[in-house]
C-alpha cells in the first residue's frame, strides 16, 4: 500500500517521509511591502522546501496584488508556487478589498492551471501580529510550503 498522504501540516518530521527524494520545483513569490515580516515568511517557506528535498527559487514582486500574475506566469515552468505577502489594515476598508482580490485571484489561477499554490498572505491589524505569524511555530510561510508540497505529492 502507498504512503499515508493525510499527514498533519503541524508535523514537520513527516515531510521527508512523504516526499522522499522527489525533485519538486517551487517558485516562492514574495511581495516587497512590509519587508521585515515578509523576510520571515520567505525564510520559513524556503527552509521548509529545501528540507523536503525540493528546489525553491525566490521571485520578488512589488505588492500582494502582483502575486496573482506572478503565480500564473511562473507556474508555466514550476510544479507549484508559494505566495507570500502582508496586507495591513489601515484607516479605511481598502485592505479588505485587496485581500479579497488577491485570494480570489490566486484561487482562480490555481484552479485554471491545476497546480497548487500555498498561500502565505497575512491579513493583519498590527505589525506585531505579522511578526508573530512570520516566525517560530506560527510561521505562515512554513505552513504554506508544507501544504503545497503535500498537494504536489498528492497529484503525482
Residues carrying an active site annotation: 94
Query: Is there a binding annotation on residue 92?
Result: yes
Query: Is there a binding annotation on residue 117?
Result: no
Query: Is there a binding annotation on residue 33?
Result: yes
Q: Nearest 5°: CA angle at 74, between 45 and 9?
A: 30
Query: Is there a binding annotation on residue 37?
Result: no
Query: Is there a binding annotation on residue 133?
Result: yes
Report the distance separating Cα 51 and Cα 12, nearest Å: 10
Query: Is there a binding annotation on residue 58?
Result: no
Among the listed residues 153, 154, 145, the one whose alpha carbon sits nearest the alpha carbon of residue 48? 145
Q: Other CB atoms closer than 10 Å to residue 9's CB: what's the count?
A: 15
* Cα 9 to the center of its chain, rounded Å: 13
Alpha-carbon separation of residue 60 from 63, 79, 82, 147 (angstroms): 9, 18, 12, 21
Query: Is there a binding annotation on residue 48?
Result: no
Q: List binding-site positions for 5-amino-6-(D-ribitylamino)uracil.
A: 33, 64-66, 86-88, 119
Q: List binding-site positions for (2S)-2-hydroxy-3-oxobutyl phosphate.
A: 91-92, 133
Q: List binding-site positions.
A: 33, 64-66, 86-88, 91-92, 119, 133
Amino acid at each position: 500500500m502507498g504512503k499515508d498522504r493525510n499527514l498533519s501540516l503541524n508535523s514537520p518530521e513527516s515531510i521527508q517521509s512523504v516526499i522522499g527524494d522527489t525533485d519538486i520545483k517551487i517558485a516562492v513569490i514574495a511581495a516587497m511591502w512590509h519587508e521585515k515580516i515578509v523576510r520571515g515568511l520567505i525564510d520559513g517557506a524556503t527552509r521548509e522546501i529545501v528540507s523536503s528535498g525540493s528546489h525553491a527559487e525566490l521571485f520578488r514582486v512589488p505588492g500582494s496584488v502582483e502575486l496573482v500574475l506572478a503565480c500564473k506566469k511562473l507556474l508555466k515552468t514550476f510544479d507549484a508556487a508559494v505566495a507570500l505577502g502582508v496586507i495591513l489594515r489601515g484607516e479605511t476598508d481598502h485592505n479588505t478589498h485587496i485581500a479579497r482580490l488577491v485570494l480570489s485571484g490566486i484561487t482562480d489561477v490555481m484552479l485554471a492551471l491545476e497546480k497548487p499554490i500555498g498561500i502565505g498572505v497575512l491579513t493583519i491589524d498590527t505589525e506585531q501580529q505579522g511578526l508573530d505569524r512570520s516566525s517560530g511555530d506560527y510561521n505562515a510561510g512554513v505552513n504554506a510550503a508544507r501544504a503545497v508540497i503535500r498537494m504536489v505529492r498528492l497529484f503525482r
